[in-house]
Structure 1
């Protein structure tokens, strides 16, 4: 009799677990349906089933990461959640690899390092879309913020990344990647126009406006030991390995990899403890309204390996 009762209890437990699993699966599918609506994703039935499996695995990873109390950041759902890591890299991690030009002019500190700095609000967060143009956004971001600080660029006037994507076609290669420092050099030679005159469309086109009124005097290489000093006075371009950034949501992210500098961003400041404040070009729906924070120690994601500052004489 006891064996029968035990068997019955085990059967009920198994059924309960199965029903719970089915409920969780249904809830996740409903969650994914809402996700596709929220992010404007339209798939055929077969493609949607495939994307759901990717989404399901991503949510498991996110849950596992967030359950680890040692992590100082949190991951979450965003526009990249139903992309495989390989697809994500192919679309967004396309910065060309470049050894720093040792013959380039070096940044020389013009004053002391501040206790902290934050230039985050000086220009808006932008979105490169499905175009490997991070280098253009980093270059334009450096020039745009410099000219805003110097009073050259009027408030609510934004410079054109699309102009660099279309017209800077020497070593740089539009949506297929490029070099942020060479983008600044192109802006020095030709000048940048505004995004109102040359709007961003996230694809390569024939060059439409080859010059502009807004010019930096050039770029300077910022040595690792001078980055905080430079950031005390203006944002700087930085190259990073962003392979682990796909699901970042909030907090100080210490889950970096460092294999290749595959993404260009803009460092916009640092906190009193040295935490880096980084502006990305994946829209305000990613990260902390478009930003990520990296820990001060250990050269996280290679943030100190290659950086440049735009300057005015």
Structure 2
């Protein structure tokens, strides 16, 4: 009998211990996200810089978000062009795009051979420069009606751009465009860049200034929020050419294909990457943008990712740049 009582007492003590100890059977979200991110880093051999020890704050590919509280209006240039007027009806309540018949249902500037090849930034956080310079290359080819695009010297811009940009340690698309415009920088072709480096054994930071002749230089640009106004992005893509956008690319590490429709945060403060948007498709059951990344052709769809239109997914409409060349 004493043995039974002793066994009961032991069971009671063990039960009380379990009731007193708080268990957390759910995996820690931050630890789990960090584990998956480390797997991605090893898989693609892509080490990144961290701003603070929180995965959400990772500088994914070098786009330094604008300082909290600083005015975005510094970079806003209101377009007086009829091309930019709100001629497309947009329903904010339903978040639906109603596209008129005269807007093409499919636009893909790659079909015109005016989009440079996908770049691989490797260990260099230079998406801010790659996206802008490649977009300028595209717009130059379109303006000059070239049958093939001419690559421009991205490395020189990475190494030399001022105005608060830090080379492979990060930069900002809007600050880069402001620097290119204010300094009247004439961008070199890739062949010229390689020729200079072969003779001088290093990066040359002396840029030619825009003169009274043909050159590739930024005349003006916009850097605006088009949240709930993505129709303006479609309009520009259809009538002018590719555009630059800042995005939140944290979740892109898991992208294998298809159209991104969910699980891609859109907060302005979470922008951490920069890309070139080269077209769209409104005929698909889920309309999407064609977004050119800079993680090499092994990423996604041969270096591209499809983002659903109309939801500001991944913050794609938070900070958009339209560029006009001289």
User: Do both proteins adopt the same fold according to a TM-score greater than 0.5, normalized to the shorter chain?
Assistant: yes
State how far apart, in whole Å, the 2-side matches of 1:82 and 1:103 are. 31
| Matched residue, 1:308 | 321
| Matched residue, 2:254 | 247
State how far apart, in whole Å, the 1-side matches of 2:36 and 2:293 are. 21
Residue aligned with 1:95, SS? coil
Instruction: Say if 2:195 is the partner of 1:190.
Output: no
In the alignment, is the contact (CA less than 8 A) between 1:221 and 1:309 conserved in 2? yes
- Kindly provide the CA deviation profile for residues 114-158 of structure 1, in whole angstroms up to 9, marking residues without a partner as x: 323111352211111211111101111221111011117673520
Decide which structure has the larger Cα Rg and report it: 2
State how far apart, in whole Å, the 1-side matches of 2:143 and 2:295 are. 26
Residue aligned with 1:125, SS? coil
State how far apart, in whole Å, the 2-side matches of 1:183 and 1:84 are. 20
Residue aligned with 1:110, SS? helix
Normalised to the residue count of structure 1, the TM-score between the two structures is 0.66
| Matched residue, 2:83 | 110
Instruction: Say if 2:289 is the partner of 1:281.
Output: no
Name structure 1 gaps, 5 residues minimum. 1-53, 63-76
Q: CA deviation at 1:220?
A: 2.1
**Misfit runs of 4+, over 6 Å:** 81-89
In the alignment, is the contact (CA less than 8 A) between 2:47 and 2:123 conserved in 1? no
Q: CA deviation at 1:174?
A: 1.0
| CA distance 1:83–1:208, shift in 2 (3 Å) | closer
In the alignment, is the contact (CA less than 8 A) between 2:216 and 2:325 conserved in 1? no
Name structure 2 gaps, 5 residues minimum. 1-31, 85-101, 210-214
Normalised to the residue count of structure 2, the TM-score between the two structures is 0.64
In the alignment, is the contact (CA less than 8 A) between 1:231 and 1:269 conserved in 2? yes
Instruction: Say if 2:240 is the partner of 1:238.
Output: no
| CA distance 1:181–1:262, shift in 2 (3 Å) | same
Q: CA deviation at 1:240?
A: 0.4
